[in-house]
Structure 1
Amino acid sequence: MSNANKAKGTRYEGEIRDYLNDLGFTVRRVVQMGNKDQGDLHGYPLHIIEAKNEKSIRLPEYVRQAEREAVNAGEPFGVAFVKRPRASTGDGYAVRSIATDARLVARLRDAEALAEKYAPAEVWKAHYEKHGAGQ
């Protein structure tokens, strides 16, 4: 990989980190670890993020890499954040396999049911409104 491509990738990792941190997360870039690589960004709850800013988009490769690196990092979910050409960071793509997405949605469903059952009504209502449709 040329230094220009590496710099482009590093810059995109920083853009993702800053974007997510502006939303209240505490995301950080991590050092690459060869065949035990643990993804590009940590601190996105339950995930590792594999950041991709390449001219040719290769989704199957990105998803395999993100899922492998999530296992290496001990996180349940891997996601590839793929740069959308000529678009803002937030308009990029978050890519995962359907199997991974189904596991994530099942976990969210179960957590929502527990919160609805055990949280005080006003806490549940505030949570639902904060994270409702269109947010």
Structure 2
Amino acid sequence: MANPNKARGTAWESDVRNYMNTALGLVNELGKFLDIFSALNVKRAAQEGAADVGDVHCAPFILECKDVKSPAVPTWLRQADVEAANAGFPYGVVVHKVRRANVRRGRVHFGFATWTRVRLALGLSARQMRERYAFNASVRGLDSARWYLTTDVERFTQLVADMRAGLT
């Protein structure tokens, strides 16, 4: 790959995919899918046409993966929402790499509206959601469209498992 930034981004997407498949128990000890046809497998998306469908598909989420030094979270979240809609998934989130840290420490950002919809789907109060998945809030001004909540990849993976199990 000629573009080093593209190579870094692709590596981050693959690291997230591999970590989540392992943590969710979807692969064997060799990293091979237990059921190659399962819709629950976490996969990197093949880009097709003009409508981007996100970097990683992790039903019911689209993950927009970012390996950049300077974050632009509100902009990325808008992008994740559009890509989730393009892919037909209900939720879009951003997974931002933390320099020199294990993939499980990457930051997963939820827009306020997405976080609320996920919380309600899980049947949790705001306090329960924050505590169970260690979310921290970033509130910028009075416009809730610019607010977001952040956890790490490890806790996000547990959230995905809980959603898939229908746990509350």
The counterpart of 2:121, out of the listed 87, 107, 110, is 107
Structure 1 residue runs of 4 or more that deviate by more than 6 Å after TM superposition: none
Q: Distance in 2 between matches of 1:23 and 1:75?
A: 21
What residue ranges of structure 1 are gaps of 5+ in the alignment? 111-129
Structure holding more helix per residue: 1
Deviations 1:71-124 (A, max 9, x none): 0011110011000111111101111111110001001108xxxxxxxxxxxxxx
Identity %: 39
Residue 50 of structure 1: how far off its partner (Å): 0.6
Q: TM-score, normalised by structure 2?
A: 0.61
- Report the residue type matching 2:52 in the other structure: D
Residue 60 of structure 1: how far off its partner (Å): 1.1
Q: Is 2:39 the counterpart of 1:3?
A: no
The counterpart of 1:72, out of the listed 86, 98, 105, is 86
Aligned residues: 110
Q: Distance in 2 between matches of 1:90 and 1:71?
A: 26
Rate the CA distance shift 1:7–1:61 in 2: closer, same or farther, 3 A. same
Q: Distance in 1 between matches of 2:91 and 2:76?
A: 13
What residue ranges of structure 2 are gaps of 5+ in the alignment? 27-40, 125-160, 163-168
Q: Distance in 2 between matches of 1:6 and 1:68?
A: 21
- Report the residue type matching 1:61 in the other structure: T
Residue 32 of structure 1: how far off its partner (Å): 2.1
Q: Partner residue of 2:45?
A: 30
Q: Partner residue of 2:70?
A: 56
Q: Partner residue of 1:18?
A: 18
From the CA coordinates, give the structure whose radius of gyration is larger. Answer: 1
